[in-house]
């Protein structure tokens, strides 16, 4: 179920959205784009946490890091 929100976007982005995406598909397009960006942010944060642990804690084998990243990717 969708939730209505108000966002402020750049005028050029709005013009491109209006030009390129049909009116009935804009909400889905924006939602999909936000999902993709949020997944990217989650992945970047996970990598940063892993790097911090790698520097601060005991050695973590690369294979464990790869498994953790795959599980995060699959969950997103």
Read off the pLDDT of residues 3-60 as tens digits, 9 standing for 90 and up. 999 999 999 999 999 999 999 999 999 999 999 999 999 999 999 998 888 788 778 7
From the number of C-beta atoms within 10 Å of its C-beta (0-12, 13-18, 19+), residue 9 rates as exposed
The pLDDT value given to residue 76? 65
Nearest Cα residue to 33 out of 15, 17, 46: 17
Separation CA 59–CA 64 (nearest Å) = 11
Domains of the chain, by residue range, sit at: 11-75
Q: Helices (DSSP H) in the chain: which residue ranges?
A: 11-20, 26-56, 62-75
What's the whole-model pTM score?
A: 0.66
């Amino acid at each position: 179920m969708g939730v209505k929100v108000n966002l402020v976007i750049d005028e050029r982005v709005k013009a491109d959205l209006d030009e390129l995406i049909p009116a009935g598909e804009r909400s889905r397009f924006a939602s999909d784009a936000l999902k993709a960006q949020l997944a990217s942010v989650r992945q970047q944060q996970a990598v940063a946490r892993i790097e911090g642990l790698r520097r601060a804690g005991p050695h973590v084998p690369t294979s464990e890091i790869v498994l953790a990243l795959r599980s995060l990717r699959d969950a997103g």
